[in-house]
Every structure is written in C-alpha cells, then in structure tokens.
C-alpha cells in the first residue's frame, strides 16, 4: 500500500494520442484505434462527492456529509463507520459508482483515493477499510477478482493510495467503491477525491520484440506459475520469498540498435519493493512500480535503455520481497 500523504490529487488533462500503440493479446498483435473521446480525464463522476446522486450506498453506515473544514476539495466527503457487530455481513458499509464511459480493454488505468482515519481499529487479521476496483463486461458480469487498496488502522490525515491495473478483455465497465470491512471494530474513515484515469504511454513507438518471462534464459530463486489468470504465453514468473534476492535474465536479444522502451508486464497485490533492471551488464536502474491490487490484475512498468543490434541481455532483479511480483513478459518498443 502506498502511504504517502497528499493534500490533493493530480488530474492530468493532457490528451492521449488517438492511435494507441500496438498491444499484445496472447500472440496476437492488435493495433487498436481509440475513439475520439478517449482522454486522460478522470472517469469518476463527482469524484469529491459534491453530487451525492452519483453514488449508491449499501446502507446507513455510509453517508456523504458536509465537512468543509477538512474536505480536500469542495465541501463534502464520504463518511464510513466501522462497527463490527458480531456477524461479518453486518459490518459492511460502502459507497459505489459504476463507470460506464471510457473503459477499454487493454488500457492501464490508475485508480487513486484519499482516505482519512479517526481511531480506526480492528482485530488485525487484514480486515481494514478498503477501496476496490472491479471490471465488468457489457452484461454487468464481473470479469476478474477486484483490485484492493487497504487503508491503515489508527488516526491519520488524508493519505493517498493508488494502484495501476489493466482492464481485462471484454471490460467496458468499472465499479469503484469505498468500504468499511469486516474485522474492523471501531472508528470512522473519510474519503475524498477519487480518480480513475487512463495511463498514456506517449514515448512508446513501434513494438519490436516480446519476451515471455517463462521463456527467459536464466532464473535465480524464481519459478513458473499459472495460478492467477490474465497472463500471456504459458505462464508467469514468481520470485521466491520472503526477503530473498531473485532475478530473471533474457539473453541473445536481437533488435535494431538504438534507444528502446522496456515495458515489464507484472502484477503485485501490494507492498512493492524496488526492482532493478540492467541492460547488457550495465548499471542497475531501480524502479518502484505501483501495486495492482490483485495478483490477477496486470500493469506495466517501463525503463529506457540503449540496445545493440544483436546479442543483448536484460536482467531484472528483486530483493526484500514480501508478496509477488508476478512477471508476465517484457515488451520492447522503439522510442517515439
């Protein structure tokens, strides 16, 4: 979970290219043309709860209140109580919204939420207040396990949480919600300024090579898995854990010489540690990708590096692992 404090959420308004760069679906390369209306605008209506009609509530433990003194924007926030009463189903309160415009399969979305806690307490077995993201098809059928972000116990000022997740095949709707959760026994959470924004990849040019993780040349403390759906090829690689160094290395990669984008497709539920990427034995460049909220929700993290024409190597390294990541594949793109 990302716990950096933020007083407001950026809402990028710059336009995405009309022509999406090629995507991989299994072994099929698609050139998807985006509709004119596609942009990086926030897809959530009344993201600051200023228009309560845009939100549906599970019950009275979820209400939109006037709280101008501490709202992140406007005058309203969502208030959820945590009042575990002995039966799990009695303690669930939630406000939800179904997003029906702007969800496209294969696009990576960033979902951000701000949450403020007052004396949030629980029995400590993982049942914390959460924000969830669920993908659905045109018939309203849920397509994959929801992605979750867990809010902390305790008393704290507004904290930003965020995940990145690719909409799965068939997805045309997303449900975003904020919930109290079973095992929470006490306290109140306040929620404000949600956003669901498509992520642009303006530097990606032509896709020149796809390398499946499970077909890599060498592994250190890694194994092939197929438990979680949504991967391409014949599986994905999962480093051993906990807290052990692991690596995946691809060799003999032939591409045109020059600078490339290296996009690693991954999933990781929460608690991401930095990963390092080294090209042709060069310096290890560390990145900390965003969590995807579920091992079955996928996203990409990109590096940039110079390649030779033939015989390149890529080595991805992990350390201090707690959970995940799952590594599906690497896509190499020319720079735009």
Q: Which is nearer to Ca ion, 114 or 326 (CB)?
A: 326
**At closest approach, how far in Å is the CB of 265 from Ca ion?**
8
CA angle 24, 196, 238 (to 5 degrees): 45
d(CA 310, CA 209): 13
Q: Which is nearer to Ca ion, 267 or 312 (CB)?
A: 267
Cβ atoms of 248 and 222 within 8 Å: the answer is yes
**At closest approach, how far in Å is the CB of 307 from Ca ion?**
21
Q: What are phi and psi of 215, to 5 degrees?
A: -100, 10
Residue of closest CB approach to Ca ion = 233
238 binds Ca ion (CB under 5 A): no
328 binds Ca ion (CB under 5 A): yes
212 binds Ca ion (CB under 5 A): yes
**At closest approach, how far in Å is the CB of 1 from Ca ion?**
26
d(CA 159, CA 167): 25
Segment contacting Ca ion by CB under 5 A, of 71-79, 143-151, 172-180, 212-220: 212-220
Instruction: Kindly write out the interface string for residues 151-170 of this chain, putting x where it contacts Ca ion by CB under 5 A and - elsewhere.
Output: --------------------
**At closest approach, how far in Å is the CB of 118 from Ca ion?**
44
**At closest approach, how far in Å is the CB of 112 from Ca ion?**
28
Cβ atoms of 205 and 256 within 8 Å: the answer is no
d(CA 225, CA 189): 37
Q: Give the pairing of strands 147-150 and 218-220.
A: unpaired
Q: Which of 216, 213, 226, 12 is nearest to 110 (CA)?
A: 12
Give the residue ranges of DSSP H helices in the chain: none
Q: Which is nearer to Ca ion, 122 or 230 (CB)?
A: 230
Lookup: tokens for 307: 């390649």
d(CA 97, CA 44): 8
Q: Which is nearer to Ca ion, 154 or 229 (CB)?
A: 229
The count of residues interacting with Ca ion (CB under 5 A) is 7
331 binds Ca ion (CB under 5 A): no
**At closest approach, how far in Å is the CB of 170 from Ca ion?**
20
Q: Which is nearer to Ca ion, 113 or 207 (CB)?
A: 207
Q: Which of 121, 134, 153, 132 is nearest to 3 (CA)?
A: 153
Q: Which is nearer to Ca ion, 212 or 290 (CB)?
A: 212
**At closest approach, how far in Å is the CB of 185 from Ca ion?**
42
d(CA 206, CA 142): 33
d(CA 315, CA 278): 5
Q: Which is nearer to Ca ion, 110 or 214 (CB)?
A: 214
d(CA 182, CA 166): 28
CA distances in angstroms from 100 to 17, 173, 183, 202, listed in the order given = 21, 5, 32, 25
Q: Which one of residues 233, 271, 274, 276 is an interface residue with Ca ion (CB under 5 A)? A: 233
Segment contacting Ca ion by CB under 5 A, of 14-22, 200-208, 230-238, 244-252: 230-238
Q: Which is nearer to Ca ion, 97 or 212 (CB)?
A: 212
Segment contacting Ca ion by CB under 5 A, of 107-115, 238-246, 289-297, 328-336: 328-336
Q: Which is nearer to Ca ion, 39 or 232 (CB)?
A: 232
The residues that touch Ca ion, with contacts defined as CB under 5 A, are 212, 231-233, 236, 328-329
């Amino acid at each position: 979970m990302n716990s950096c404090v933020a007083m407001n959420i950026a809402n990028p308004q710059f336009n995405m290219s009309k022509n999406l760069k090629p995507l991989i679906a299994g072994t099929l390369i698609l050139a998807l043309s985006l509709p004119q209306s596609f942009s990086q605008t926030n897809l959530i209506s009344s993201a600051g709860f200023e228009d309560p009609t845009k939100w549906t509530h599970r019950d009275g433990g979820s209400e939109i209140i006037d709280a101008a003194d501490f709202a992140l924007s406007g005058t309203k926030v969502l208030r959820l109580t945590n009042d575990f009463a002995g039966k799990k189903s009695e303690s669930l309160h939630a406000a939800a919204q179904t997003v029906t415009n702007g969800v496209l399969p294969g696009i990576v979305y960033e979902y951000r939420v701000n949450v403020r806690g007052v004396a949030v307490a629980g029995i400590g077995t993982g049942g914390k207040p959460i924000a969830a993201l669920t993908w659905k098809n045109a018939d309203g059928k849920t397509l994959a396990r929801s992605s979750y972000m867990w809010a902390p116990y305790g008393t704290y000022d507004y904290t930003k949480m965020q995940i990145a997740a690719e909409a799965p095949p068939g997805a045309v709707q997303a449900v975003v919600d904020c919930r109290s959760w079973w095992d929470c026994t006490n306290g109140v959470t306040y929620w404000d300024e949600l956003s669901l924004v498509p992520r642009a990849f303006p530097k990606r040019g032509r896709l020149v090579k796809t390398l499946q993780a499970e077909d890599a040349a060498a592994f250190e403390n890694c194994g092939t898995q197929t438990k979680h759906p949504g991967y391409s090829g014949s599986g994905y690689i999962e480093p051993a854990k906990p807290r052990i160094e692991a690596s995946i290395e691809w060799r003999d990669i032939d591409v045109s010489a020059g600078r490339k984008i290296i996009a690693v497709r991954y999933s990781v539920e929460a608690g991401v540690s930095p990963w390092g990427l080294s090209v042709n034995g060069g310096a290890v460049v560390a990145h900390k990708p965003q969590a995807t909220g579920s091992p079955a929700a996928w996203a990409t993290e990109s590096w940039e590096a110079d390649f030779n024409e033939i015989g390149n190597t890529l080595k991805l390294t992990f350390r201090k692992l707690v959970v995940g990541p799952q590594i599906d594949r690497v896509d190499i793109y020319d720079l735009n």
